[in-house]
Protein backbone atom coordinates (compact mmCIF):
# COMPACT_ATOMS: atom_id res chain seq x y z
CA UNK A 1 0.00 0.00 0.00
CA UNK A 2 1.39 3.37 -1.07
CA UNK A 3 0.77 6.28 1.28
CA UNK A 4 0.36 9.56 -0.56
CA UNK A 5 0.81 12.77 1.38
CA UNK A 6 -0.56 16.13 0.32
CA UNK A 7 0.56 19.58 1.39
CA UNK A 8 -1.65 22.33 2.72
CA UNK A 9 -0.59 25.83 3.68
CA UNK A 10 -1.36 28.10 6.60
CA UNK A 11 -0.70 31.79 6.16
CA UNK A 12 -0.62 34.25 9.02
CA UNK A 13 -0.50 37.90 8.05
CA UNK A 14 -0.61 41.53 9.08
CA UNK A 15 -2.21 43.73 6.44
CA UNK A 16 -1.85 47.09 8.11
CA UNK A 17 -5.56 47.93 7.86
CA UNK A 18 -7.05 49.98 10.66
CA UNK A 19 -8.79 46.85 11.98
CA UNK A 20 -5.56 44.87 12.03
CA UNK A 21 -3.81 47.71 13.84
CA UNK A 22 -6.55 47.69 16.50
CA UNK A 23 -6.21 43.91 16.87
CA UNK A 24 -2.47 44.36 17.23
CA UNK A 25 -2.99 46.80 20.11
CA UNK A 26 -4.83 44.07 22.02
CA UNK A 27 -2.80 41.04 20.97
CA UNK A 28 0.66 42.60 20.70
CA UNK A 29 1.26 39.91 18.08
CA UNK A 30 3.10 40.53 14.81
CA UNK A 31 0.38 38.73 12.79
CA UNK A 32 -3.36 39.07 13.31
CA UNK A 33 -4.95 37.16 10.44
CA UNK A 34 -4.93 33.46 9.51
CA UNK A 35 -5.88 31.73 6.27
CA UNK A 36 -5.61 28.21 4.90
CA UNK A 37 -4.72 27.21 1.34
CA UNK A 38 -4.96 23.91 -0.48
CA UNK A 39 -2.15 24.83 -2.86
CA UNK A 40 1.31 26.41 -2.68
CA UNK A 41 0.32 29.18 -5.11
CA UNK A 42 -2.35 30.30 -2.61
CA UNK A 43 -4.99 30.19 -5.36
CA UNK A 44 -7.33 28.34 -2.99
CA UNK A 45 -6.91 30.53 0.09
CA UNK A 46 -9.80 30.60 2.58
CA UNK A 47 -10.60 32.44 5.77
CA UNK A 48 -13.15 34.51 7.67
CA UNK A 49 -12.64 38.18 7.00
CA UNK A 50 -14.21 41.30 5.58
CA UNK A 51 -16.34 40.68 2.51
CA UNK A 52 -16.24 44.30 1.43
CA UNK A 53 -12.99 46.23 1.13
CA UNK A 54 -14.47 49.41 2.55
CA UNK A 55 -16.81 47.98 5.20
CA UNK A 56 -14.92 45.76 7.66
CA UNK A 57 -18.04 44.94 9.69
CA UNK A 58 -19.50 43.10 6.71
CA UNK A 59 -17.53 39.92 7.27
CA UNK A 60 -17.80 36.16 6.99
CA UNK A 61 -16.45 33.23 5.02
CA UNK A 62 -14.25 34.33 2.13
CA UNK A 63 -12.12 32.89 -0.61
CA UNK A 64 -9.20 35.28 -0.54
CA UNK A 65 -7.21 36.45 -3.54
CA UNK A 66 -3.66 37.60 -2.79
CA UNK A 67 -3.82 39.88 -5.87
CA UNK A 68 -7.13 41.59 -5.06
CA UNK A 69 -9.10 43.25 -2.28
CA UNK A 70 -7.32 43.97 1.00
CA UNK A 71 -4.08 42.37 -0.15
CA UNK A 72 -3.97 44.52 -3.30
CA UNK A 73 -4.85 47.67 -1.35
CA UNK A 74 -2.17 46.83 1.22
CA UNK A 75 0.68 45.52 -0.89
CA UNK A 76 3.03 45.87 2.08
CA UNK A 77 1.22 43.04 3.90
CA UNK A 78 3.65 40.96 5.93
CA UNK A 79 3.12 37.23 6.21
CA UNK A 80 4.49 33.87 7.17
CA UNK A 81 3.50 30.81 5.18
CA UNK A 82 3.69 27.34 6.69
CA UNK A 83 3.45 24.00 4.92
CA UNK A 84 2.08 20.90 6.53
CA UNK A 85 2.07 17.46 5.00
CA UNK A 86 -1.09 15.44 5.65
CA UNK A 87 -2.48 12.15 4.42
CA UNK A 88 -4.64 11.99 1.33
CA UNK A 89 -7.67 11.10 3.49
CA UNK A 90 -7.04 14.10 5.75
CA UNK A 91 -6.66 16.29 2.67
CA UNK A 92 -9.93 15.06 1.18
CA UNK A 93 -11.73 15.60 4.50
CA UNK A 94 -10.28 19.11 4.79
CA UNK A 95 -11.19 19.89 1.20
CA UNK A 96 -14.77 18.67 1.78
CA UNK A 97 -15.06 20.72 4.97
CA UNK A 98 -14.01 23.88 3.13
CA UNK A 99 -16.40 23.01 0.26
CA UNK A 100 -19.24 22.79 2.80
CA UNK A 101 -18.39 26.31 3.98
CA UNK A 102 -18.23 27.51 0.38
CA UNK A 103 -21.56 25.94 -0.60
CA UNK A 104 -23.27 27.40 2.48
CA UNK A 105 -21.43 30.70 2.76
CA UNK A 106 -24.67 32.66 3.24
CA UNK A 107 -25.17 30.89 6.58
CA UNK A 108 -21.84 32.03 7.97
CA UNK A 109 -20.95 35.23 9.73
CA UNK A 110 -18.02 36.71 11.58
CA UNK A 111 -17.77 35.80 15.26
CA UNK A 112 -17.42 39.27 16.79
CA UNK A 113 -18.51 37.89 20.18
CA UNK A 114 -15.81 35.23 19.83
CA UNK A 115 -13.15 37.94 19.57
CA UNK A 116 -14.21 39.30 22.95
CA UNK A 117 -14.30 35.80 24.47
CA UNK A 118 -10.77 35.18 23.14
CA UNK A 119 -9.49 38.25 24.96
CA UNK A 120 -10.62 36.66 28.22
CA UNK A 121 -9.47 33.16 27.20
CA UNK A 122 -13.04 31.84 27.28
CA UNK A 123 -13.86 29.12 24.73
CA UNK A 124 -16.88 30.32 22.77
CA UNK A 125 -18.32 28.35 19.90
CA UNK A 126 -21.17 30.06 18.07
CA UNK A 127 -22.88 28.07 15.33
CA UNK A 128 -22.09 29.36 11.84
CA UNK A 129 -19.78 32.07 13.20
CA UNK A 130 -15.97 32.10 13.19
CA UNK A 131 -13.04 34.45 13.24
CA UNK A 132 -10.18 33.70 10.87
CA UNK A 133 -8.07 31.63 13.25
CA UNK A 134 -11.08 29.72 14.62
CA UNK A 135 -12.02 28.70 11.08
CA UNK A 136 -8.50 27.52 10.22
CA UNK A 137 -8.23 25.63 13.51
CA UNK A 138 -11.69 24.12 13.06
CA UNK A 139 -11.05 22.68 9.58
CA UNK A 140 -7.64 21.39 10.69
CA UNK A 141 -9.24 19.71 13.70
CA UNK A 142 -12.17 18.27 11.73
CA UNK A 143 -9.79 16.69 9.21
CA UNK A 144 -7.53 15.42 12.02
CA UNK A 145 -4.62 17.14 10.26
CA UNK A 146 -3.14 18.48 13.49
CA UNK A 147 -3.64 18.10 17.20
CA UNK A 148 -4.58 21.45 18.67
CA UNK A 149 -3.14 22.46 22.03
CA UNK A 150 -6.36 24.23 23.02
CA UNK A 151 -10.00 24.55 21.99
CA UNK A 152 -10.27 25.68 18.37
CA UNK A 153 -12.24 28.77 19.42
CA UNK A 154 -9.22 30.01 21.39
CA UNK A 155 -6.69 29.62 18.58
CA UNK A 156 -5.05 32.87 17.50
CA UNK A 157 -2.91 33.44 14.41
CA UNK A 158 0.25 33.47 16.57
CA UNK A 159 -0.59 29.95 17.86
CA UNK A 160 -0.23 28.19 14.51
CA UNK A 161 3.59 28.27 14.23
CA UNK A 162 3.87 26.19 17.41
CA UNK A 163 1.76 23.33 16.04
CA UNK A 164 3.60 20.11 15.35
CA UNK A 165 4.43 19.37 11.73
CA UNK A 166 4.36 22.89 10.34
CA UNK A 167 7.35 24.04 8.31
CA UNK A 168 7.95 27.73 7.68
CA UNK A 169 8.46 28.11 3.92
CA UNK A 170 8.24 31.91 3.60
CA UNK A 171 8.45 35.02 5.74
CA UNK A 172 8.24 38.52 4.30
CA UNK A 173 6.03 40.70 2.13
CA UNK A 174 3.13 38.78 0.62
CA UNK A 175 3.64 40.69 -2.65
CA UNK A 176 7.14 39.15 -2.91
CA UNK A 177 5.99 35.55 -2.36
CA UNK A 178 6.68 33.28 -5.32
CA UNK A 179 6.58 29.54 -5.70
Question: 127-170 pLDDT, tens per residue?
Answer: 999 999 999 999 999 999 999 999 999 999 999 999 999 999 99
E strands, 133-177, in order: 167-173
Q: CA 110, 114, 116, 117: dihedral to nearest 10 degrees?
A: 180
Residue 144, Ramachandran bin (φ over 0: left; ψ between -120 and 50: alpha; else beta): left
CB 93 within 8 A of CB 113: no
Which CATH number covers residue 34? 3.90.1720.10
Q: Which residues constitute the domain of residue 101?
A: 5-176
pTM: 0.94
Domain count, the chain: 1
Task: Indicate left, alpha or beta for 161 from its phi (over 0: left) and psi (-120 to 50: alpha).
Answer: alpha
Rounded Cα–Cα distance for residues 120 and 47 (Å): 23
pLDDT digits (tens, 9 = 90+) for 13-56: 999 787 777 777 777 888 999 999 999 999 999 999 988 877 77
Intra-chain end-to-end CA distance of the chain, in Å: 31
Amino acid sequence: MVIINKNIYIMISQTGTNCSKIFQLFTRAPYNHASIALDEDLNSLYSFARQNLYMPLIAGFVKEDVNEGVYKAHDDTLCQIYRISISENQYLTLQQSILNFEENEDKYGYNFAGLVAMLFNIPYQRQYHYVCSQFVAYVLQESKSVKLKKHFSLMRPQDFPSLSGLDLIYSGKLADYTV
